[in-house]
Amino acid sequence: MANTDITKPVDLTSHAEGTGPLRSTRPLYVDFMPPCNSACPAGENIQAWLSHAQAGNYFEAFQSIVEDNPFPGLMGRVCVKPCETGCNRNHIDNTVNIHAVERYIGDEAIKEQWPIRCTAKPSGKRVLVVGAGPGGLSAAYQLARMGHAVEIFEASGHAGGLLWSGIPDYRLPKEILDAEIQRIVNMGVKIRLNYKVKDIQEEKTAGKFDAVYLAIGAQLIHSENFQQDNSVYIRDAFSFFQEVKTNSSPYLRKKVVVYGGGKLALYLSRIIKRFGSEAAVYFPGDKKLMPAYDYETEDALAEGVDVQLLKSINKIENKKITLENTKVEKGKVVGLGTFETIDADILIMANRQESDSGFLRNINTIKVNEDGTVQIDAQRMTGEEGIFAGGDMLPGENRSATIAIGHGKKAARYMHGYLLKDPYQKPDKHPTAGYRKLHMWYQTDAPQKTQEKLAPTEAIKSFEEIIAGLPEPSVRFEAQRCLSCGNCFECDGCFGACPENAIIKLGKGNRYKFNYNACTGCAVCYEQCPCHAIEMIPEPVNSTNDVEK
């Protein structure tokens, strides 16, 4: 900060021009992190693609999205939307309907068959990805964009992982998933189906792969220990999904109990309702421990699913399930020793997903936890050289497709650095532009455009998609509700407000710069900037005036 004694008159005759010596602070154009971008587990530059959508340039919006996430149509439907929770518009009215805009862009890309711009030169390196779920597909996609040859080995008969086997059509139509997977195949990624890896080191050597990414997901259900006499038909969630693809008759007009508290359990219960059966969900924990989001529980309740908390299975006898009442102490479920009995024809187990990673236990350098998750280092690598992992295979993570996609992208960057012997350095993250940083001087009243939704009584009659997309005018309106938090959108507010004409316009898309010879440091530009793209910084010691570089 300039060292000026304000008790003495300042001799202006020694300064031919400018007001720098009189300033204690000067304005500076900055870029902060928008809260939507910061909250996105896939690392999308949401604000950037929303700006293209504002102008109706959906092709460029699509190109911006797929730099980080190859599944806009998919994620516009199934993402749990942390970006919208973080959106600063929540402090004004309600969030920008980000997922609806992304869905529209994704659907347009499929309809118009938009190609992905990709110009990377072949690297000569080969990568094996184990698992064709969202994490594996994301990693393969990003590695292909970087010029590497990628093959995916998938144990099941269809790519998509839990997106294919665990999300019902009423939430995600399979033609959307298939179209976005095909786009990755069109980039040269090879997918080998019905091939379960049993020895990863052998596969790596035999295929002459330079690196491996493990993304096998969590398609096992933890085995519960209780007595039962086989009077109730018991299936785990994934066996159920596989069975009903070809034969749903065992589940028609039955009394079905689903045991679990995640979105998987709620998906199951809502499928059961569509089979004309009674569906009840029981979970041993309380609402705080329940992994499912509130809106998922509310949707299930609206469709007639009975959801009961603090109930654990004790035993099954004579077509009756005995449940023990529980409580939660210090984050753990404790039985109370009191019981109740319910009738049931079928029990579907959906509590505590685990990874089928037993084939890794013979590699001493890879630490495999009891639930099948593995340990990785800061470079996303396991203890075995050249073998990386992510998604549901990692401990301590909330499981979602968005997180898996983000893990795949991050791993691809570290793998790229590993393959080229040029380690990836994670860049510093800009500070987040919270609502208190904004200076909202203009009218912002613009109620959210909401998507049409089937009434619950209609929804349970079929597997028709429940939530509809927005029409194009509403999509553009939603994009235009974005406040551009933390980044200049050339509103000309600073230019018009500056009393000294110290701001120079650089032309559309190039923003502005300051003429510090004219700037007095009055901070009017800072105070009126609605998105906090201007910061007042201490005047540098021995500063010279000039135009901002």
Phi and psi for 11 in degrees, rounded to 5? -80, 100
User: Which pairing describes strands 255-259 and 278-283: parallel, antiparallel, or unpaired?
Assistant: parallel
pLDDT score recorded for residue 5: 36
Distances (CA, A) of 539 to 166, 337, 518, 526: 58, 69, 14, 15
Pairing between strand 149-153 and 126-130?
parallel
Helix (H, G, I), strand (E, B) or coil at 155: coil
Q: Which residues pair with 117 in a beta bridge?
A: none
Contact 173, 465 (CB under 8 A): yes
**Number of CB atoms found within 10 A of residue 27's CB:** 25
By residue count, the chain amounts to 549
> Please, which residues bridge with residue 212 across strands?
128, 387
| Per-residue pLDDT at 17 | 42
CA 519 to chain centre: 43
For residue 441, the model assigns a pLDDT of: 80
CATH number at 221-351: 3.50.50.60
Phi, psi of 281 (to 5 degrees): -110, 130
Q: At how many degrees (to 10) do helices 263-274 and 294-302 cross?
A: 20
- Please determine whether the domains at 126-220+355-419 and 221-351 fall in the same fold group of CATH: yes
Beta-carbon contacts of 10 under 8 Å, excluding residues fewer than 6 positions away, are: 4, 21, 22
SS (HEC) of 439-470: CCCCCCCCCCCCCCECCHHHHCCCCCCCECCC
Identify the three-state secondary structure at position 511: coil
**For residue 507, how far is the Cα from the chain centroid?**
35
State the pLDDT at residue 16: 34
DSSP state of 283: E
Under CATH, to which class is 126-220+355-419 assigned? alpha beta
User: For residue 141, which phi and psi values (nearest 5 degrees)?
Assistant: -60, -50
Tokens at residue 98, please? 């980000």
Partners of residue 306 on adjacent β-strands:
280
DSSP code at position 508: T
Beta strand pairing call for 512-514 and 503-505:
antiparallel
Q: What CATH fold (topology level) applies to the domain 12-31+488-538?
A: Alpha-Beta Plaits (3.30.70)
At residue 245, the pLDDT reads: 86
Profile the chain (549 residues) by mean pLDDT over runs of 10 residues.
34 39 87 96 96 97 97 96 96 96 98 92 97 97 98 96 92 97 96 96 96 93 91 94 90 96 95 96 95 93 97 95 96 95 96 90 93 93 96 82 95 98 92 92 84 96 96 97 95 94 93 94 94 93 70
Q: Where are the domains of the chain?
A: 12-31+488-538, 126-220+355-419, 221-351
Can you give the pTM of this predicted structure? 0.90
pLDDT recorded at residue 119: 85
Query: Which residues make beta-bridge pairs with 256?
Result: 279, 346
Q: In this structure, are residues 209 and 298 in contact, taking their beta carbons and an 8 Å threshold? A: no
